[in-house]
Chains A and B, each alone.
Chain A
Amino acid sequence: MIKRLTQSELREMWTGLGMNLELHDQLLESNNRIFKKTHLWQKKRPAAMALFDRALHDSHGQRVAEILDYRNNGGKSVGTFCIYVPDEIALAASVLAIPLCGGSGWSVDYADKMLPRDICPLVRSTFGMALSGTCPYKTLKEHPLGETTCDAKKKTWDLFGIPSMEVPQKKNKEDKVLWISEVKKFTGDMEKISGVKVTADNLRESIKKCNQKRAVLQKISEYRKLRKPPISGLDALLVSQVALNMDIDNFINAGNELIAELATRADKGISAYDKDGVRVLFAGTPSPMGYAKVHWAAETSGLQVVADESCTGIRYYRDQVPEDLDTVDEMVEAIAERYFKIDCPCFSPNTERFDNISNVIEEFHAEAVIHNILQFCHGFNVEAGALDGMLKDNGIPSLKIVCDYSEEDGEQIKVRMEAFREIIESNRNQEAE
């Protein structure tokens, strides 16, 4: 543990990292303002959320200091952009994997220097931060690692000379063979970066640790199944967002504290919401740290987001890796299999996602689905058509929101959310008659 840096020490650190302080202040100002608006109106937040609020706040400050300290003591890190990169293996090789997806609308325009305007805001936000000198992680991750998922990302790796793992496009036998070999190659790369050999012992330990982290997230999401959810969708999203950034042990501790509080709240029947609402599943593209617009619009309009199907939700923590394997090879293969289950629309076909969504709707007693698609994400956008068809067949109303990270359309999105709720409620009343 390193001591908490003061404001002036933080500024010194940012300067040392070669960042543009003036622009960075603007970014922080924008992030803080948005966070206040999206989260702090809630009156019944669990007290333990303070830990995650702080983690969000620290993501550009204290967390950077921690990583810097780790690096100064010889630690190695790799920057990732997708949940396909296996954390377990990096961790076993003593490499810190830092996910770097940006969720800030502020930085999007700074990507113009290198990237076209009409591509996904997630990619633009991430590289906008790097290009404007406001990403503190830029110099920390001397080993960025992409993956061949969508076109926007693939071509961005090429443009910036970032190496990538090959994620297959299909899920047949031969694709799995390819993926396992990629994960093996990744293992070797991690060992090369850190000089630490991946052994059965350290890999088993890191599998346990990552399972523990996912178990914390699963447990928190379990509480959202209750009729009176003790945690809001906005707060549950925040927890998953910072889970990607926090030190893994700190996250597990904070998560357990939250779980203890949720257990008490659940016993006492304390809901995070003022009144009953319409329970919805949030499906679609990831909502990286800084972005919670659609959750905000939903939850300020009488909808309750009780589950997230996205990569900042169940897709990230649903599957575990077996802990009882003996050899490195067995474990690496088991890890590869675990990641191969991820149901991203980059795969063709992607039928598992449909089954998974049906199950989540049932388990979490969702009445409807909110489909959020980041503008220009073709995979999710086109897949939404088939998904909507399936939902319609099952009598589940769904609302599709295609948007970017900017704030201006927040009110417009709220209109749709309110109308959506009114329609669902009036259907309920009709059925009751």
Chain B
Amino acid sequence: MRKGNSTVTCGVDIGARSIEVVLLQNQEILSSLIEDTGTAPSENGETAFRNALEAVNLNPSDVSSIVSTGYGRNYFKPAHRSVSEILCHARGVSAIFPTARTVVDIGGQDSKLIELDENGRPIDFVMNDRCAAGTGKFIEMTGSVLGIPVLEMNDIISPEDGRVDISSMCAVFAESEIVGLLHRGCEVSAILNGIFHAVAKRTVSMAGRTQIVRDIVFTGGVAKIAGVRSAFAKEAGFQVLVPPEPQITGALGAAIIAAERCEPALSINSIGNGGKLD
């Protein structure tokens, strides 16, 4: 669905685990995709970029501006500019939820908390230290002790399930803690619930003394796990908003920033004024 000849911009988010591409035109998402980063981030980034273009029958030359973000941002050759993921996530999230004041992004390998002002501009942020605690990696590692792949977690657990607390924040210690719980005969779903709460708790504590202000928007691959969403809402004491596709907000923000370079200020309304309230 190639629309008119108005400019197309692109945002590419090359993360440690996944690559997201968003093509934007007329303040609408033309196409978006998510692929694995694999072992060759810059090549796979370029392939993902081409794939996103092909999906809507476009050529690289049709794209007027490309912004890269994420860990691989400086190695993505087609980009005109690279911008940190903090700014991109902030921009992407506030385009979808103009009322957002806190962004909680939990990805495969890191987690961050971004504080926004009333205009959606980031004013402060915290990121986890080099450690799996509180990230998707923690869920993946502990989940594997239970024999549950991340993608199946939504099917296993329901809000009524009980919960046992996981006290270790360290993924390695948590693994042995879970083995112990299994030996004691604890329910798998209760343990999983405990894992989700451990991640949520860790993320909330990352804020330190800064208050978490509403609205809170939860993004990143981990936001797709319903159990973590509700655990987070409980730990933070607030409901959280989740975009329809929580993994692409960084790439979306990058595409918006790319558009701002060639067009006057943009307010995205048609991208979706929704997502679901959890």
Taking beta carbons and an 8 Å cutoff, which residues of A are in contact with B?
385, 397, 402-403, 408-409, 411-412, 415-416, 418-419, 422-423, 426-427, 430
A402 & B129 in contact (Cβ 8 Å cutoff): yes
B122 & A408 in contact (Cβ 8 Å cutoff): no
| Nearest-CB residue, chain B, relative to A412 | B130
Q: 1/0 per residue B82-111: CB within 8 Å of A?
A: 011111000000000000000000000010
A409 & B130 in contact (Cβ 8 Å cutoff): yes
A-B residue pairs in contact (CB < 8 Å), sample of 7? A403-B130, A415-B84, A416-B86, A416-B127, A419-B122, A423-B124, A426-B122
Q: A418-B84, A419-B85, A422-B83 are in contact. Are A412 and B123 (CB under 8 A)?
A: no
Q: Which residues of B contact A411 (CB under 8 A)?
A: 71
B87 & A422 in contact (Cβ 8 Å cutoff): yes
A422 & B130 in contact (Cβ 8 Å cutoff): no
Question: B125 at interface (Cβ–Cβ under 8 A)?
Answer: yes
B122 & A423 in contact (Cβ 8 Å cutoff): yes
Q: A423-B122, A426-B121 are in contact. Are A415 and B83 (CB under 8 A)?
A: no
Q: Which residues of A contact B86 (CB under 8 A)?
A: 415-416, 419, 422-423
Q: Chain B: interface residue count, which band? A: 10 to 19
Q: Which residues of B contact A409 (CB under 8 A)?
A: 129-130
- A409–B209 Cα distance when bound, in Å, is 25
B121 & A408 in contact (Cβ 8 Å cutoff): no
A-B interface pairs (CB < 8 A), number: 45
Q: Which residues of A contact B121 (CB under 8 A)?
A: 423, 426, 430
Q: How far is the CB of A413 from chain B (nearest CB, A)?
A: 9
- A426–B85 Cα distance when bound, in Å, is 15
- A196–B127 Cα distance when bound, in Å, is 55
A419 & B71 in contact (Cβ 8 Å cutoff): no
B127 & A412 in contact (Cβ 8 Å cutoff): yes
- A415–B209 Cα distance when bound, in Å, is 22
Q: Which residues of A contact B209 (CB under 8 A)?
A: 385
In-complex Cβ contact of A419 among B84, B110, B129, B130 (8 A):
B84
Q: How far is the CB of A108 from chain B (nearest CB, A)?
A: 14
A415 & B127 in contact (Cβ 8 Å cutoff): yes
- A419–B89 Cα distance when bound, in Å, is 11
| Nearest-CB residue, chain A, relative to B85 | A415
| Nearest-CB residue, chain B, relative to A385 | B209
Q: Which residues of B contact A403 (CB under 8 A)?
A: 129-130
Q: Which residues of B contact A415 (CB under 8 A)?
A: 71, 84-86, 127
Q: Which residues of B contact A397 (CB under 8 A)?
A: 124
| Nearest-CB residue, chain B, relative to A408 | B130
Q: 1/0 per residue B66-92: CB within 8 Å of A?
A: 000001000000000001111100000
- A179–B130 Cα distance when bound, in Å, is 40
| Nearest-CB residue, chain B, relative to A301 | B84
| Nearest-CB residue, chain A, relative to B125 | A419
A412 & B110 in contact (Cβ 8 Å cutoff): yes
- A416–B71 Cα distance when bound, in Å, is 11
**Chain B residues numbered 111-139 whose CB sits less than 8 Å from any CB in chain A:** 121-125, 127, 129-130
